[in-house]
A and B are shown apart, each in its own frame.
Chain A
Amino acid sequence: MKLLRLVPNNTNFDFLRIKVVAFFFSLIILSVTFISLIINNLNYGIDFKGGILLELRSKNLNTPNINELREKISTLNAGEVSIQNFGKDTDFLVRIQKQEGNQKEQIAMIEKVKSLTDKDYTVRRSEFVGPVVGDELKTAGIYAVSLALLSIMIYIWFRFEWQFSIAAILALIHDVLTTIGLFSILQLEFNLATIAAILTTAGYSINDTVVIFDRVRENLRRYKSKTHYFIYNKSINETLSRTVITSVTTLLALFIIFFFGGAVLSDFALAMIWGVIIGTFSSIFVAVSLLTYFNINKGEKVDDRTNVPEYEREN
């Protein structure tokens, strides 16, 4: 059987030669992220903003009319209302801003929408998040992402050298920021699931980075006489096949969630598809490239497990 080879054996690409181009690319997407955040901000979902959300399905499958629904709901004078198709032609997502007054008004509004649309629509989901909870969730989200980054940084510091930890964390911040940027540019709803997607992406990206770093550490000891430049490039090439294959299997799974997982999961999957791609890019072009700016000692810290026997070393 002829097997599929995505990456040929013994590649020898000079990845680091284009590191300036890659940095420039990162700079561009980071700038776009910041500009978009300033102009568009994020399209916060009710999880963070507070407010009301209803998912409606038309009972009459042939003639769901979004304008009619819009007009109907506008009679409630509910303030800012957004109505959009959700997954199917018959399904709509109705978002209503937080109402003036206390909780009673919010709950009354849900009831009003329900009774107004009762004849033609079934309510598939209704959510209400108070502003207090929204703020708390926002804080918790920021804490969670910071906590994840910090613990990863400490672990890598502990297992590798501090230079690795800084390079890895900058690559991770790069991934997290550009994923947030994607949500700002496409104005996708930024909600709890997005935080989950960002953290999973961070997990995936660090996984990728660690695999390459592991190889760098090993090669630093193995090829003591070679330049750092050579060692970094060799390490990327040696792990390239694994990097590509794992990205492909993960992307396969994610695309399937994107297309078949239903409307609720599609944004979630999209965020992670972006995350896997940018995470793979950043492991090579941000994390390893950054290492070239440090002068890392070769094999100062001898670790028995990765200590290479004399006969295997070059020279």
Chain B
Amino acid sequence: MKSLSKIRFILIIVSVIIGIVYSVPNFLKKSQQDQSFNFLPGKKINLGLDLQGGSYLLLKAKMDVVFAEKLESLLSDIRSSLRKSKVGYKKLTIQDDTISFQKRKGFSNDKIKSIIFSLDKNLIVENKLNSFFIKFSEQNKINITKSTMTQAIEIVRRRIDETGTNEPSIQQQGTDRIIVQLPGLDDPSRIKKLLGKTAKLTFQLAHPSIFPEDLNKESKAPPGFVKLQEDKNPDRFYMINKRVMVSGEMLKDASPTFDRNNSPSVSFQLSPLGGKKFGRVTGKNIGRAFAIVLDGKVVSAPVIQTQIFSTGQITGTFTVQETNDLALVLRSGALPAPMVILEERSVGPGLGSDSIAAGKIASVFGLIAVMVFMLITYGMFGIFANIALICNIIFIIALLSFLQATLTLPGIAGIVLTMGMAVDANVLIFERIKEEFNLGRNILEAIEAGFQRAISTIIDANLTTLFAALALFSFGSGPIKGFSVTLMIGIATSMFTAIVITKYIVLLYSKRKGINSVFLQG
């Protein structure tokens, strides 16, 4: 008989052995796996955050803020280019997303356009009479978003790495989003705080004669100055020179420490270039106050006592934890865009292990229930179906481990459900064999015909189910994706076991025992 060929037998045995080898690590304790079974090639199944506990954060970069900043810097680039080329202009301003200015008489429009395009050839420049309007094109925005996101992911990674979180996963999603997964961390409030700060640090001089005591909510800033809130006290304001003396990019290092009064502070070290600049400004302004500005708020504004070069201290009203975090974010660099948290899901270790326990119980009970039912319904055929079912489960576990797919709680439900549905292919085959037998064929003919006819039905039925699983996969979000993956794997393995393994066992049995209708009784 063709189907009883040795090759088929070897194929089955080999696939089952490979399946066992890859699924075994999942049943071993960590220590056993490391010591006695370290020869096994497979890894354990990846558990989803809902099973092992951990946090999932979905962040979005506020790109509109970045676009506005970039437009500001484009404005100053345009100003200096026009000056350099000695082009007369007036009313150079920004309104919403457009920079506009008017040229003075006697300058050619084409020359002005070419000056602007030399800054960036992708800009959109419109010219009406003497007025010019400049906007970012879509291409500009795409480029800005790309570079911002690359940088943002890097900074987010650095900040999270510094907290010592185990195996964080940080990846971009869509154009302006970042998914952060933190296994084992069930309270992400510190991480959220760290990612909530862009940490743009600047040192700027304070106004020589306008002091916080003179200022209130209604006060207006004179030209070249800006009124900023104090970080810890929103009712206190400072008048700060717009010019930035030194900015956070020139920081080399920052660490938490204590100041002379033994209150927590952050000490920093500037790069050589930054140190030179800082020394020059502080040397010229002894006796004046300079403000340490973090994310647009004044942390403190000490008076310059002596010339300061590369090292200094940021003092303020900090707790120790705050200085730790501030030093950390300063070391990691500023985020290029403010981040907002769109979605957060955290699962504690208690719930995770409870879910695993419930999943195990459901799987074992489900397996037993289905096997007992098949046995009492089909007798010997039921035993064959149960052997196929066990092979099926081995294959599912092995494939999940091999693909390093993520197993989630809905995924476990998917496996239990597959146990129920996987016997379907066997049921289809057995029912068909029985029918063919009752039509008066002999048993071997009935088996061949039964398989032949059932297979087309099995393929049709499973392919349509596969479409539903694929739709589910495309739907995307974490646990649901995990569920659809187990469902798809279950469909594939149950087809394989029914068509290949069950058939082989049935043929083998009927050949050994002779033509025998014992398992078609009832």
A152 lies within 8 A of B374 (CB): no
**For the complex, what is the distance from the CA of A306 to the CA of B453, rounded to whole Å?**
8
B417/A272 in contact, CB under 8 A: yes
CB distance from B182 to the nearest CB of A (A): 13
The reply to whether the CB of A20 lies closer than 8 angstroms to some CB of chain B is no
Query: Which of A192, A242, A249, A254 has a CB less than 8 Å from the CB of B480?
Result: A192
Query: In the complex, which residues of chain A have a beta carbon less than 8 angstroms from the beta carbon of B359?
Result: 261-262
CA distance A252 to B187 in the complex (A): 38
| Interface, chain A (partner B; CB < 8 A) | 1-6, 9-10, 55, 57, 102-104, 107, 110-111, 122-130, 132-133, 137, 140-141, 143-145, 147-148, 151-152, 155-156, 159, 192-193, 195-196, 199-200, 202-204, 206-208, 210-211, 214-215, 218, 238-239, 241-242, 245-246, 248-254, 256-257, 260-262, 264-265, 268-269, 272, 305-306
Query: How many angstroms between the C-alpha atoms of A252 and B476 in the bound complex?
Result: 29
Q: Does B228 contact A (CB under 8 A)?
A: no
CB < 8 Å neighbour of B471 from A147, A248, A260, A269: A147
Contact in complex: A254, B420 (CB < 8 Å): yes
Complex: chain A residue closest to B452, CB-CB: A305
Q: Which residues of A contact B468 (CB under 8 A)?
A: 148, 152, 199-200, 202-203, 206
What are 28 A-B pairs with beta-carbon distances under 8 A? A3-B521, A6-B377, A10-B438, A107-B344, A127-B344, A128-B345, A129-B343, A129-B344, A141-B475, A147-B474, A155-B467, A156-B464, A200-B487, A206-B461, A207-B462, A211-B457, A245-B427, A248-B373, A251-B420, A253-B366, A253-B421, A254-B416, A256-B362, A256-B365, A257-B362, A257-B416, A262-B355, A265-B413
> With an 8 A cutoff between CB atoms, is B198 at the interface?
no
Q: Does the CB pair B522–A5 fall under 8 Å?
A: yes
Q: From A111, A202, A207, A268, name the one whose CB has the most chain B CB atoms within 10 angstroms.
A: A207
**Partner among A3, A133, A159 whose Cβ is within 8 Å of the Cβ of B342:** A133
A132 to B369, alpha carbons, bound, how many Å? Answer: 44
B358's nearest neighbour on chain A, judged by CB, is: A262
Across the interface, do B469 and A203 meet the contact criterion of CB distance under 8 Å?
yes
The reply to whether A144 and B521 form a contact with Cβ atoms under 8 Å apart is: no
Known A-B contacts A144-B472, A155-B464; A261 and B358 likewise in contact (beta carbons under 8 Å): yes
The dominant DSSP class at the B interface is helix
Cα of A274 to Cα of B456 in the assembled complex, Å: 28
Known: A122-B348, A261-B413. Is A246-B341 also a contact (CB below 8 A)?
no
Q: In the complex, what residues of B have CB within 8 A of residue A147's CB?
A: 471, 474
B residues near A200, Cβ cutoff 8 Å = 414, 417, 468, 472, 483, 487
List of A residues within 8 angstroms of B366 by Cβ: 252-253, 256-257
B376 proximal to A (CB < 8 A): yes
Query: How many angstroms from the CA of A274 to the CA of B120 in the assembled complex?
Result: 61
Q: How far is the CA of A276 from the CA of B476 in the complex (A)?
A: 24
What 5 A-B pairs have minimum CB-CB distances, sorted nearest first? A253-B420, A203-B468, A148-B471, A262-B358, A144-B475
A128 to B341, CA, bound (A): 9
List the B side residues contacting A272 at CB < 8 Å. Answer: 417
A145 and B467 CA atoms in complex are apart in Å by 11
A218 to B58, CA, bound (A): 52
Could you tell me if A306 and B361 are in contact, using CB atoms closer than 8 angstroms?
no
Interface pair B410/A204, CB less than 8 Å apart: no
**CB neighbors of A among B465-494 (8 A):** 465-472, 474-477, 479-480, 483-484, 487
- B410 in contact with A265 (CB, 8 Å): yes
**Cα–Cα, bound, A3→B348 (Å):** 47
Interface residues of B in 342-386 (CB under 8 A from A): 342-348, 350-351, 354-355, 358-359, 361-362, 365-366, 369-370, 373-374, 376-379
Q: Report yes or no: A252 in contact with B424, Cβ–Cβ below 8 A.
A: no
Tell me the nearest residue of chain A to B370, going by C-beta.
Answer: A249
**A103 with B480, Cβ < 8 A, contacts A155-B464, A211-B461 known:** no
Name the A residues within 8 Å of B341 (CB-CB).
103, 107, 128, 130
Q: A141-B475, A203-B468, A264-B355 are in contact. Are A3 and B522 (CB under 8 A)?
A: yes
A110, B210: Cα distance in complex, Å: 41
Q: How far is the CB of A237 from chain B (nearest CB, A)?
A: 11
Residues of chain B within 8 A of A128, CB atoms compared: 341, 343-345
With known contacts A3-B379, A246-B427, A130–B343 Cβ distance under 8 A: yes
Q: Which residue of the partner chain, among A152, A195, A265, contacts B467 with CB atoms under 8 Å?
A: A152
